[in-house]
């Protein structure tokens, strides 16, 4: 699938590329990341192939990420109008100011104006709530976002890193009050991080939110660089973070990932990206690229098609235990279906149900 074979984002008509370019590392203000020159080259390479979906946030590299996008794209109407620029509110950019961050009306409107200034544009295509602010009622957040949409400063709204029950509450606040609903959900999702399959992804599919996974390679764990045979090569600068995710389960996943990648004629990273992008509910996967080589390598994953057998092997290697009530519900199938077959799923008569008319009160 080429980068310019676009998909609609959730229950909306917004067309986005199947891979979204994450720009968290644009700028070296955090002590790591891409230089401005490298960031611009990466932007040009991505857009040159038809990519149109950028993801940033007000707090990324202290606001420099937004500024780089604004200087190169936002200030040029011909470039800007062809792009879908997504940024986020909630992060506090003003230490000492309790209202400098959060999902409350004062914080959201101020953050939006600051992002518009740095992005050098009149509107944000997709405005994310970066994570859950448990101190702010969700109806206050949703009304403030709707006001921004009505003012023309925001086109679409999305939710990131928030419990499924709170997302559903937010969505129904919007639906019942004729406010702007969320069209997308940004969450961590990969072969290593699959717990979102318990609640968040089913919720997103039901609520019309297109999923945009972040960290699909788990920060490098799924690149195949770290295996049982070379754990002593972990970069000291990333050592503690990477070591924290190098465990028996994840090494088993990497073992199978390397085998599948060899069969598919691709790299382990490409196979891992292809796996997550093909999952039901996923609209566009966020790929980070600190260097041009990383960008080009990640884009190759769009050409990878895994067989059903290969997908199943990766599913089995990375399987998780369901949490309650998902862990319980399979056991009530016979109770509900009464020994019939529904949607191709068989059941057996529940042995505690009345077996004939004489047993039924």
Which residues are part of the catalytic machinery?
60
Q: At what angle do helices 308-317 and 268-277 cross, to 10 degrees?
A: 100
Would you call 130 helix, strand, or coil by DSSP?
coil
Two structure tokens written together for 307: 């067989």
Indicate the helix (H) or strand (E) that contains 350.
none
Among 171, 190, 154, 164, CA closest to 282 = 190
Two structure tokens written together for 186: 């940004």
DSSP state of 81: T
Q: Using CA atoms, how far apart are residues 260 and 309, in angstroms rounded to an integer?
A: 10
Would you call 241 helix, strand, or coil by DSSP?
helix
Among 259, 261, 251, 263, CA closest to 218 = 251
DSSP E strands, 130-279 = 154-160, 182-188, 210-214
Q: Any residues with CB less than 8 A from the CB of 47 and at least 6 apart, and which?
A: 79, 82, 83
Name the residue with tokens 């992005």. 119
Cis? peptide before 361, omega within 30° of 0: no
Q: Using CA atoms, how far apart are residues 316 and 310, in angstroms rounded to an integer?
A: 10
Name the residue with tokens 């009050």. 177
End-to-end alpha carbon distance in the chain: 60
Say how many CA atoms lie within 13 Å of 202 toward its Cβ. 7
Q: Using CA atoms, how far apart are residues 361 and 98, in angstroms rounded to an integer?
A: 63
């Amino acid at each position: 699938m080429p980068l310019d074979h676009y998909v609609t984002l959730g229950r909306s008509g917004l067309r986005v590329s199947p891979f979204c370019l994450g720009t968290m590392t644009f700028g070296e203000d955090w002590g790591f990341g891409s230089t401005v020159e490298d960031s611009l080259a990466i932007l040009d390479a991505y857009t040159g192939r038809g990519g149109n979906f950028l993801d940033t946030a007000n707090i990324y590299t202290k606001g420099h990420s937004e500024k780089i996008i604004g200087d190169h794209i936002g200030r040029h109407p011909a470039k800007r109008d062809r792009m879908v620029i997504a940024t986020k509110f909630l992060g506090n950019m003003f230490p000492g100011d309790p209202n400098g961050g959060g999902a409350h009306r004062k914080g959201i409107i101020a953050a939006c104006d600051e992002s518009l200034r740095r992005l050098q544009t009149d509107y944000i295509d997709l405005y994310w709530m970066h994570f859950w602010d448990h101190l702010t009622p969700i109806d206050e957040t949703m009304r403030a976002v709707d006001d921004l949409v009505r003012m023309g400063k925001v086109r679409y709204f999305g939710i990131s890193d928030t419990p499924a029950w709170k997302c559903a509450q937010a969505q129904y606040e919007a639906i019942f009050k004729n406010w702007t609903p969320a069209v997308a959900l940004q969450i961590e999702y990969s072969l290593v991080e699959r717990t979102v399959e318990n609640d968040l992804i089913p919720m997103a599919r039901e609520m019309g939110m297109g999923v945009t996974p972040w960290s699909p390679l788990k920060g490098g764990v799924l690149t195949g660089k770290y295996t049982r045979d070379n754990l002593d090569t972990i970069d000291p600068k990333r050592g503690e973070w990477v070591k924290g995710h190098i465990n028996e389960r994840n090494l088993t996943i990497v073992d199978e990932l390397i085998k599948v990648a060899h069969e598919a004629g691709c790299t382990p990273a490409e196979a891992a990206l292809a796996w997550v992008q093909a999952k039901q509910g996923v609209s566009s996967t966020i790929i980070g690229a600190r260097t041009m080589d990383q960008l080009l390598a990640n884009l190759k994953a769009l050409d990878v098609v895994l067989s059903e057998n290969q997908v199943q092997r990766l599913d089995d290697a990375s399987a998780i235990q369901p949490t309650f009530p998902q862990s319980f519900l399979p056991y009530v199938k016979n109770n509900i279906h009464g020994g019939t077959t529904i949607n191709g799923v068989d059941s057996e008569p529940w042995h505690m149900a009345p077996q004939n008319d004489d047993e039924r009160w």
